[in-house]
Structure formats: C-alpha cells, structure tokens
Amino acid sequence: MSYTNGLDKPTDYFTTFLWTGDGSTSPRSHTGVGLQADMMWSKIRSSGHQHNLVDTVRGVDQRLLMPSDNGDEDTTCTHGHFDSLDSDGFTTTNGGGNWNVNASGQTYVGWFWKAGTSFTNDASSTGIGTIDSTGSASDTSGFSIVSYTATGSTGTLKHGLSSAPSMIIIKNRSVTKPWQVGHKSLGFQNGIYLNETSASQSDNGAFNSTNPTTSVFTIETSSYVNTSGHNYIAYCFAEKKGYSKFGSYTGNGNADGSFIYTGFQPAFVMVKRNSDTGNWNMMDTARSPSNIVGLTVSANSSGADDGGDFIDILSNGFKQRSTSTNRNASGSTYIYMAFAESPFVTSTGIPTTAR
C-alpha cells in the first residue's frame, strides 16, 4: 500500500509552547520550543491582556502587532517585548508593567510557525504580481509572510508559495485598522475580521472578489489592505496534507457535536462562527493535553483562558462537545484553521495513536 500523507513531523513547522513569567527585567532566554520560528503569536493566559504577534520579516525586537486589537505596529513596547526568535525558542525583555511577556507568576502560551526562505520580488522585473513585496516562505508547510507598501490601486502580490493560499490574514501596520481575513470556505468575495466578533460580509474592496492563485493574491482598494504609502503584513496559509486544514462545518447544537475531518491529529484548532457573531476560539493540545479540550482563548479578545467542554481531539480530526454558539449552534456555519500534531498515517504506514 502506498501512503502520501504530507509531513511526517509537523512539529518541525508548527508547535505550541507554554511558560511562566519570572518578572525579570534582564533578557530571558526560553528554549525547548523545538524549531526556529518565523512567526510567534502569544497570549498571557492568567490575566486579561492583549495577544501579541511578532515575525522575522518585520523584525522582532520591539515590533508587536496585537491580533485582538486594531492598533498599528507598536515599535516601543516599554511594557515588555520579545527581543528575538532563536534557534530553539525566543528571548524576552521586560519593562514597565511587564504584563506583555514575562510578568512574575503569570502563565503564557505561544504558537510558533516556521517559514524560512527569504524572498524579494520586484514585480516589474519578475512579472510576478504588480506590487513589490518581500517575505519569508516555506513551500513544504505552505506558510509565508509577505511585507508590502501599498499603491492604493487594485493589484497582485507574490505570496512565495507554489499552491494557492487557503487563508490570508492582512494587517495595516501604519494606522489603526481591523485585521482583514480571507478564507477559502467563505470565498474571497467575502471577508471577516480577526479582531472582531462580526459575521462574514461582502468583500468591500479587500480581495477584489478574486481567489488567490498558485503565485499571487489580489488586493483591491480598501484601507484595510491597500492605502497608498501604508505598510502592510500578510500571513498566507496554503493547505498541506497531513499538516494543515482550512475548512468549514455546520453546527448541530448538541453536545454530541459535529465531527470535522482533517486527516491528521490536530495540535491547534481555531474556530469562528461566520454566519453570525462569535469569538475566534483558539484551542491546543499543550494547554489541554487530554480530552475534552477544556481551555480556549479568543483571538478577538484580551480575556484570559476560558474553561469548559469544547472539543475532542481525535486521530483524524476534531469533534465538537459544546452547545456554545461560538462553536456549535444548530444550523450555524463555522470556518476553522487547524495544524497537526501528527499525520493520521505516516509516509511509512504508521498510524497515529488516539489521545
């Protein structure tokens, strides 16, 4: 029998890491993450403060974006910041109130993605896209980070992958604007906002109602993605068998809820109700190492870890175990993104074990 299941070791490209702050004002090195990350998304779990996101394309030191807030890029971070993303972890430095990264006794979670291959695209020279961009990409894992200065005119940008992204998250770094999200299950004629609870809505000038191709994605003239002279960052995710899945499902309103097939055992799942209002619930196997997954934070909220019965993580997908409207209202539709802990079956035919 032949197996073609994509990545045998998903943790080379995505992982979750937990730590506890010690209040130190000196640089503090955290090791044991297991990969050289190019993007780190973190959240204080034990207190109500904003999410934080850094990446190697913008530069890490004192360059925070906050997915739970629509603010521009913070380049001062006097309340504590990340100094660097390192070969097996990251370094933090405290300041001010210290809540951001290393407050004494506070607990934190970080989600790490590896890209790794840098690119610069002069669109007029290469003929790829119409707007210049720089970035970092991993075609193996289907993840890229794209930085660009907008022109204000409808155009296309190189995303650095060989397959079309299934999900794109864009943030205006220059001014206060929402986080624009495109997702294949919505179709790129529709959009939704990462820092809000609102339902999906008509594209409104974001993606020009145009699905990404194997080389570029399209932006229209919305200030959320394309104000002339403003700086933007885009996070692009293409689906990879055995590693990542981007899809949708319909809730049944029952604690014996919907089963969503991913083809792998998830390590991380984020779910958003798109047919109505709802939180972006983020769940992982590091904070909840056994079923039922009992902890979530919301990407759109500064709130601390929220407890309850949410989902079961299975060897080939996840199953809803809640009647919450955020995840499983009867007849409501939901979009999700999921990343693997292990493939359902490896390339050598070894099956994953259930939790």
270 vs 292: CA distance, rounded Å? 16
Residues 110-132 have pLDDT tens digits of: 999 999 899 999 999 999 999 99
Residues 165-186 have pLDDT tens digits of: 999 999 999 999 999 999 999 9
State the amino acid at position 63 in one-letter form.
R
- pLDDT value, residue 1: 29
- pLDDT value, residue 4: 41
Run of H or E residues at 298? strand 293-298
Residue 4 belongs to a domain: no
**Tally of structural domains, the chain:** 3
* Residue 343: closest CA among 119, 24, 90, 10: 10
Residue 349 belongs to a domain: no
Q: Do 255 and 225 reside in the same domain of the chain?
A: no
Q: Are 207 and 109 in contact (CB under 8 A)?
A: no
pLDDT, the chain, mean: 92
Q: What is the DSSP letter of 341?
A: E
Q: Check whether the bond before 311 is cis (ω within 30° of 0).
A: no
Q: Do 46 and 81 reside in the same domain of the chain?
A: yes
Q: Are 215 and 146 in contact (CB under 8 A)?
A: no
**Residue 99 vs residue 209, higher pLDDT:** 209
Q: Which domain holds residue 23?
A: 10-113
pTM for this entry: 0.95
Residue 39 belongs to a domain: yes
Picking from 90, 113, 136, the residue at the C-terminal end of a domain is 113
Q: Do 47 and 77 reside in the same domain of the chain?
A: yes
- pLDDT value, residue 344: 55
Q: Are 82 and 27 in contact (CB under 8 A)?
A: no
Residue indicated by tokens 């155009």? 155
Q: Do 60 and 132 reside in the same domain of the chain?
A: no
Q: Are 62 and 76 in contact (CB under 8 A)?
A: yes
Residue 195 belongs to a domain: yes
Q: Do 227 and 125 reside in the same domain of the chain?
A: yes
- Residue 10, classed as helix, strand or coil, is helix
Residues 312-327 have pLDDT tens digits of: 999 999 999 999 999 9
Run of H or E residues at 123? helix 123-126
* Residue 91: closest CA among 100, 101, 78: 101
Q: Do 212 and 277 reside in the same domain of the chain?
A: no
Picking from 237, 257, 284, the residue at the C-terminal end of a domain is 237
Q: Do 91 and 173 reside in the same domain of the chain?
A: no
Residue 96 has pLDDT above 60, yes or no: no
**Residue 33 vs residue 343, higher pLDDT:** 33
Residue 45 belongs to a domain: yes
Question: What is the side-by-side order of every strand in the sheet holding 81-86?
Answer: 28-31, 89-93, 81-86
Q: What is the DSSP letter of 11?
A: G
Which domain CATH number covers 47? Answer: 2.60.320
**Phi, psi values for residue 124, rounded to 5°:** -70, -25
**Phi, psi values for residue 129, rounded to 5°:** 75, 180
* Residue 84: closest CA among 135, 30, 11: 30
Residue 355 belongs to a domain: no
Q: Do 333 and 232 reside in the same domain of the chain?
A: no
Q: Do 232 and 248 reside in the same domain of the chain?
A: no
Q: Do 289 and 229 reside in the same domain of the chain?
A: no
**Phi, psi values for residue 125, rounded to 5°:** -85, -40
Q: CA of 129: how far to CAs of 135, 168, 277, 342, in Å? A: 14, 16, 35, 35
Residue 350 belongs to a domain: no
Which range among 22-36, 55-69, 164-178 has the greatest average pLDDT?
A: 164-178
Q: In the predicted model, what is the mean pLDDT of residues 300-309? A: 95
Q: In the predicted model, what is the mean pLDDT of residues 8-14? A: 93
Q: Do 216 and 128 reside in the same domain of the chain?
A: yes
Q: CA of 141: how far to CAs of 8, 16, 34, 113, 115, in Å? A: 11, 16, 16, 9, 8
Q: How buried is 34 (Cβ within 10 angstroms: 0-12 exposed, 13-18 middle, 19+ buried)?
A: middle
Q: Do 130 and 228 reside in the same domain of the chain?
A: yes
Structure tokens at 53: 């996101």
Residue 303 belongs to a domain: yes
**Phi, psi values for residue 126, rounded to 5°:** -85, -25
Q: In the predicted model, what is the mean pLDDT of residues 87-100? A: 77
Structure tokens at 154: 């409808």
Residues 6+ apart with CB under 8 A from 350: none
Bridge-based pairing state of the strands 89-93 and 28-31:
antiparallel
- pLDDT value, residue 2: 33
- pLDDT value, residue 99: 72
How many other CB atoms are there within 10 angstroms of residue 7's CB atom?
23
Residue 101 pLDDT grade (very low, low, confident, very high; cuts 50, 70, 90): confident
Picking from 67, 94, 113, the residue at the C-terminal end of a domain is 113
- pLDDT value, residue 3: 37
